[in-house]
Structures are given as structure tokens and as C-alpha cells.
């Protein structure tokens, strides 16, 4: 057909239309087919999930397995892999479950549920005691909502680790993980006092304000309660040099200490606490001390007190450790060198390190400016006090703005630093100073050297501001400063040996001492009495290895003083502070 010069081929047109129809039909069939396939994947997944929820884990694994292989129409390979691994885990196929979870991490590193994968995989590593890998996986979890689950998992499995070294290595990898620290403290506590990592244990308890009885597991089986306890005193009495006269002896402080302990033993025996106090003279001679230690009866004592001086300590420490006999080298000393590495050796007094820390804790609680200065002398104990104060103070948010080691030749600089005036009133009284008024809350004086603390107290007095000076109880015995000046300036004293003169127990002791010795009890007699009374009561309560009970029980109330708190560091953690109030020393509550 021809129209207007155009030839229309109807046959070709008809063919073209049919081709188009066939093509459109094919597209429609493919779309319907793809949808049917997708519907089939969904049906398979739901069926497998139903088996999983019913606890038919074998059937669930078969169903999920078919969906794991990648297919562009399959939207379920990640979930199928996850539930396949969970099903394997429920059936006890731990290795298979681990491999599948690991494959998910590798194949789908950006999957939204990867945190859950890490949690489950960590649990499997924990079950196989692979704690390091488990902790790495938990560290990869970024979802904070899973934090409680992670902590619960760590607490459960890490608590099973008894090896302290393993926990210390975990802590190196995870230094800020509270549950790792908790498990480490528990591992240390399980070992008992004889193997404690003392400083580490103390730092963990302090960091989280944990109670030690939550972590320490005393060995109750080794401590034996007895009707009578034998206490050996290895003292340098130097009897060969003593004159039978009423005059004071060259070693009078040692004799005073013994007399106080003797009186305490008598009191304990009257109270049906059997104490046999046996005195030996070391002559302050190393060879004489070694000869004493060779005596068979010393093998059977429950406690050794002595030899008081460092030059004779080594042999006694070795004897104590070898024979597992408790030892207090010097009951009036705070020198932690007397503890050494012997787990049976203790300090009755707080160590210098403990006192420094306790001062910082007291300052941090004071309702005044949290800025502090530190002055300390040249002795090792002064440095230990100052260092531990500064470290603990900074941890507690106290700003230490100045610290100085003072020598006699530099002590004049104290007044220059603290009390140099920059402005005076009309009568030449200082009004302002280089160190601005009330800019400092406290000054800790870590020294019992009068040339240092007298200059500091005088400087603070001239300022007339609110600075609190904190010093040593030994200042009260030096007579270098009048008590009224201590009172006027609000000086605070570290006073582990403080007792109230009006305490009925002290009045009874004083009366007994006067009746027996015809004189007022000197300071060392009071200390000796208190030490022996408290140690005797600890022996009665907890047996020959009294430390096991004391560590868990906490404070043993004192007879004259505030008492004894055995720390894992094997010193006294009870450190009272006193100040003058209305002319009398009072404990700061």
C-alpha cells in the first residue's frame, strides 16, 4: 500500500509489535520469578529461626546453612551465619561456633550486629580460658548499651584466674579496666598475706574505695588457738653494763619498753589470756644474736619482738621466715625496711609512707582551699613522708604548689618564702606578703627537725591568715615550741600513739606502773604496754597467725590508743590526727 509516497509494510509492523509484547512479558516473568525467589529465602529463614527458637538446633543449623552462601537475592547471609554459629554453640560445638563467628567478623566487618558477634565470640574464648583474646574482642565493642553484659562476662570469667602474674599481664593490656583490676585484687587476696603484692593491692583498694575483706581470703587452717602463747623479746638489754642504781641507764628507753610490756603480760594473764614473755639479751651484737637464735626453745615461740636495731635484723628476719614465726622488729618504729621481704614480719606503727598518704587524705577532706606546700628534711624518712603525701594529694585533687628539701644552712629561706612582707601598716605590721594571704590551705612539714618546723610555725604566725600546719607528734616532746603557740596557730599533728590522759584504762595503767616502779610511766613504757596488750588480744582472738584474722576483721580497738588496723602492706593503717582545743589535745574526727 502506498499513501502520499509512503509505503507501509503491515507485515513488518505486526512482527515488531509481537516482539515487543514478548519482551515485556519476559521482563514481567523475570520480576515475578525474582520476587518468588526472595520470598523463598524469607520462608527458609523464618523456618530455620522457628527451629532455633524451639530448641531444635540441629534442624536450625541445616536451615541456616543453606542461607549462608552469598546470593544477590538473599538478604539473610549475615543473620543466617550468626544464628548458625549460635546453634552450634548451643549444641556444644565450640570450635565450629568460634570459626563461624570469626568468619562473620572477616566477611562482614561493617555489619551492624558486629558488636553482638564480638560479645558471643569473647564468651567462647573465655570458656576456653583464652582470656587475652577474649578481652581484645570485648575492647572492640563500641555499643555502650552492651557495657553491663561485657562487665558481667569479665567479672564471671576473670574471677576464676588465680595466677597473679596472668592478671598483671592482662592489666598491662587493659590498664583502665575496672573488672580487670577487681580480678587482680581478688587473685592477690587469695594468696594470703604471705604472698601479697602489697603496694599494688593497696593501690587497687584505694583507687576504687574497695573494702579489703571483700578480697582477702585468710588461711584459717594454719592459725592455731592455744591456751598460752610464747613471746620472745630479743632486746639489747646489755645487762653486763647495767649498774644497780636508781639512776637512768644508758639504754633506759629499752628498759622502759620492756617494763611496759611486762606489765601488759601480767594484766593479760590475770584476764585469762595466757602470755609467756621470755626476754633474751642480744647485747646489741650480731654474733650474740645469732647464738640466741641457735637455742632450740626459740623454734617454738609464737612471736618474736626485736632486736630493735637494724644491724642485728638480718639474722632474725631469716630465722623468722625460715621457721614461719611472726616478727615485730621494733614496735615503736615506722621504718618499713624492718618488714623487708619476710611475709611474717610486721610494723606495729604506721609506716612513713602510710602516714604521708593519710595526711593527704585528711587535707583533701578539709573544708578549706585545696592548695598545699611541703617542707621536708634531709633524712630518708622525711623524703618518704613527703613523696607519698605529694603523690596521694595530687591523686585526690589537692594542688601541691611548692615542695622544698630544707637543710640547716638553707632553713633561713623559709621565712623569706612564707613571710616576706610587701606592705605594712603605719605601725610597721605586715599587711601583705610575697605569698598572698589565704592563697595556701595547708603546709605539711615532713620533718621532726626543730630548726625547720619552728621557722615554719613562726612564719605562719606572722602572716595571720588561715594556713594550717601539719606536723609530727614528736614535736610535742621536743619542747622547741610552747604548747600555746601550737594552740594559737591551729597546728595539726600526726599522732598514731595518742592516748587520752583521762581515759580510765590509762589511769589504771598509770596507777599500776607507779605502784610497781615508784614513778610516772615514761613514753616508751606506755607504748610497750599498748603494743603487748593489743598483740595479746589478737593472739587470743585469732591464734598464733593472728594476721589472717586481723586482715579480715579490720580495726582491733586499742586499750589506750585508737588501735591497730593491719594493712596488706603489713603496717598499721590507723592514723589519728590531733590538735589543741581549749588547751587540751583532742582527736580530729
Residue 294 and residue 426 in one domain:
no
Residue 485 and residue 373 in one domain:
yes
Residue 465 and residue 540 in one domain:
no
At 564, is the secondary structure helix, strand, or coil?
strand
Residue 322 and residue 401 in one domain:
no
> If you write DSSP's letter for every residue of 438-467 in order, what string do you get?
T--SEEEEE---HHHHHHHHHHHHHHTS-P
At 279, is the secondary structure helix, strand, or coil?
strand
Residue 254 and residue 387 in one domain:
no
Residue 433 and residue 540 in one domain:
no
* 461 within a domain of the structure (yes/no): yes
In angstroms, the CA 135 to CA 177 distance is 10
* 338 within a domain of the structure (yes/no): yes
**Domain range for residue 457?**
352-495
Contact of 421 with 411, CB cutoff 8 Å: no
Q: What is the DSSP letter of 492?
A: E
* 307 within a domain of the structure (yes/no): yes
Helical (H) or strand (E) element with 401:
strand 399-405
Domain boundary (495, 516, 550) is at 495
577-581 vs 563-564, strand pairing mode: unpaired
The tens place of each residue's pLDDT in the chain, 589 residues long, gives 444 443 434 344 344 544 544 544 444 334 434 444 456 888 989 999 999 999 999 999 999 998 888 787 888 999 999 999 999 999 999 999 999 999 999 999 999 999 999 999 999 999 999 999 999 999 999 999 999 999 999 999 999 998 999 999 999 999 999 999 999 998 888 876 555 577 788 888 888 988 877 887 765 557 899 999 999 999 999 988 887 777 788 889 999 999 999 999 999 999 999 999 999 999 999 999 999 999 999 999 999 999 999 989 999 999 999 999 999 999 999 999 998 789 899 999 999 999 999 999 999 999 888 999 999 999 999 999 999 999 999 999 999 999 999 999 999 999 999 999 999 988 888 888 999 999 999 999 999 999 999 999 999 999 989 999 999 999 999 889 999 999 999 999 999 999 999 999 999 999 999 999 999 999 999 999 999 999 999 999 999 999 888 888 889 999 999 999 998 889 999 999 999 998 899 999 8
What crossing angle do the helices spanning 178-190 and 198-208 adopt, rounded to 10°? 140
Residue 544 and residue 478 in one domain:
no
What total of structural domains would you count in the chain? 2
Domain boundary (495, 512, 542) is at 495
Residue 227 and residue 311 in one domain:
yes
Residue 258 and residue 361 in one domain:
no
CATH code, domain with 364: 3.40.50.2300
Contact of 421 with 447, CB cutoff 8 Å: no
* 153 within a domain of the structure (yes/no): no
In angstroms, the CA 485 to CA 471 distance is 14
Residue 262 and residue 309 in one domain:
yes
* 211 within a domain of the structure (yes/no): no
Q: What is the DSSP letter of 571?
A: S
Q: pTM of this prediction?
A: 0.74
Residue 426 and residue 508 in one domain:
no
- 3-state secondary structure labels for all residues of 178-208: HHHHHHHHHHHHHCCHHHCCHHHHHHHHHHH
Residue 489 and residue 356 in one domain:
yes
* 44 within a domain of the structure (yes/no): no
Peptide bond into 150 cis (omega under 30): no
* 300 within a domain of the structure (yes/no): yes
* 513 within a domain of the structure (yes/no): yes
What crossing angle do the helices spanning 380-395 and 352-365 adopt, rounded to 10°? 40
Amino acid at each position: 500500500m502506498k499513501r502520499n509516497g509512503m509505503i507501509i509494510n503491515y507485515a513488518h509492523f505486526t512482527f515488531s509489535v509481537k516482539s515487543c509484547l514478548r519482551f515485556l512479558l519476559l521482563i514481567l516473568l523475570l520480576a515475578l520469578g525474582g520476587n518468588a525467589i526472595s520470598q523463598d529465602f524469607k520462608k527458609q529463614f523464618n523456618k530455620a529461626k522457628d527451629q532455633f527458637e524451639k530448641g531444635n538446633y540441629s534442624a536450625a543449623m541445616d536451615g541456616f546453612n543453606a542461607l549462608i552462601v552469598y546470593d544477590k537475592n538473599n538478604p539473610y547471609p549475615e543473620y543466617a551465619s550468626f544464628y548458625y554459629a549460635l546453634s552450634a554453640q548451643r549444641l556444644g560445638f565450640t570450635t565450629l561456633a568460634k570459626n563461624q563467628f570469626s568468619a562473620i567478623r572477616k566477611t562482614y566487618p561493617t555489619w551492624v550486629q558486629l558488636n553482638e558477634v564480638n560479645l558471643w565470640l569473647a564468651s567462647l574464648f573465655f570458656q576456653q580460658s583464652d582470656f587475652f583474646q577474649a578481652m581484645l574482642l570485648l575492647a572492640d565493642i563500641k555499643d555502650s548499651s552492651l557495657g553491663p553484659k561485657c562487665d558481667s562476662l569479665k567479672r564471671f570469667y576473670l574471677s576464676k584466674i588465680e595466677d597473679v602474674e596472668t592478671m598483671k599481664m592482662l592489666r598491662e593490656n587493659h590498664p583502665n579496666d575496672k573488672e580487670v583490676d577487681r580480678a587482680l585484687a581478688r587473685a592477690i587476696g587469695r594468696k594470703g598475706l604471705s604472698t601479697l603484692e602489697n603496694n599494688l593491692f593497696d593501690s587497687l583498694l584505694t583507687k576504687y574505695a574497695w573494702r579489703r575483706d571483700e578480697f582477702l581470703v585468710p588461711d584459717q587452717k594454719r592459725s592455731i588457738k592455744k591456751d598460752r602463747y610464747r613471746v620472745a623479746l630479743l632486746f639489747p638489754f646489755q645487762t653486763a653494763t647495767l649498774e644497780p642504781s636508781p639512776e637512768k641507764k644508758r639504754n633506759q628507753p629499752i628498759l622502759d619498753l620492756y617494763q611496759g610490756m611486762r606489765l601488759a603480760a601480767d594484766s593479760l594473764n590475770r584476764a585469762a589470756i595466757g602470755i609467756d614473755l621470755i626476754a633474751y639479751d642480744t647485747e646489741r651484737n650480731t654474733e650474740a644474736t645469732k647464738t640466741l637464735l641457735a637455742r632450740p626453745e626459740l623454734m617454738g615461740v609464737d612471736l618474736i619482738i626485736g632486736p630493735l636495731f637494724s644491724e642485728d635484723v638480718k639474722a632474725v628476719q631469716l630465722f623468722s621466715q625460715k621457721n614461719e614465726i611472726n616478727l615485730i622488729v621494733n614496735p615503736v618504729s615506722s621504718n618499713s625496711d624492718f618488714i623487708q621481704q619476710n611475709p611474717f614480719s610486721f610494723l606495729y606503727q604506721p609506716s612513713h609512707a602510710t602516714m604521708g598518704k593519710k595526711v593527704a587524705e585528711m587535707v583533701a577532706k578539709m573544708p578549706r582551699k585545696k592548695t598545699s606546700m611541703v617542707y621536708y628534711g634531709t633524712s630518708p624518712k622525711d623524703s618518704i613522708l613527703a613523696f607519698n603525701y605529694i603523690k596521694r594529694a595530687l591523686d585526690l585533687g589537692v594542688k601541691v604548689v611548692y615542695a622544698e628539701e630544707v637543710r640547716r644552712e638553707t632553713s633561713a629561706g623559709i621565712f623569706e618564702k612564707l613571710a616576706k612582707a610587701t606592705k605594712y601598716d603605719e605601725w610597721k605590721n605586715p599587711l601583705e606578703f610575697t605569698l598572698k594571704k589565704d592563697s595556701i590551705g595547708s603546709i605539711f612539714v615532713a620533718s621532726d627537725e626543730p630548726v625547720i618546723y619552728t621557722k615554719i610555725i613562726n612564719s605562719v604566725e606572722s602572716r595571720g591568715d588561715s594556713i594550717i600546719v601539719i606536723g609530727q607528734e614528736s614535736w610535742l616532746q621536743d619542747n622547741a615550741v610552747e604548747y600555746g603557740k601550737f594552740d594559737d596557730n591551729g597546728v595539726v599533728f600526726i599522732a598514731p600513739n595518742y592516748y587520752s590522759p583521762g581515759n580510765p584504762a590509762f589511769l589504771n595503767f598509770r596507777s599500776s606502773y607507779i605502784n610497781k616502779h615508784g614513778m610516772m610511766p615514761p613514753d616508751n613504757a606506755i607504748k610497750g604496754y599498748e603494743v603487748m596488750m593489743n598483740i595479746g588480744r589478737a593472739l587470743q582472738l585469732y591464734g598464733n597467725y593472728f594476721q589472717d584474722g586481723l586482715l579480715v576483721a579490720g580495726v582491733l580497738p586499742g586499750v589506750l590508743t585508737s588501735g591497730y588496723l593491719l594493712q596488706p602492706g603489713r603496717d598499721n593503717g590507723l592514723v589519728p590526727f590531733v590538735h589543741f582545743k581549749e588547751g587540751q589535745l583532742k582527736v580530729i574526727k
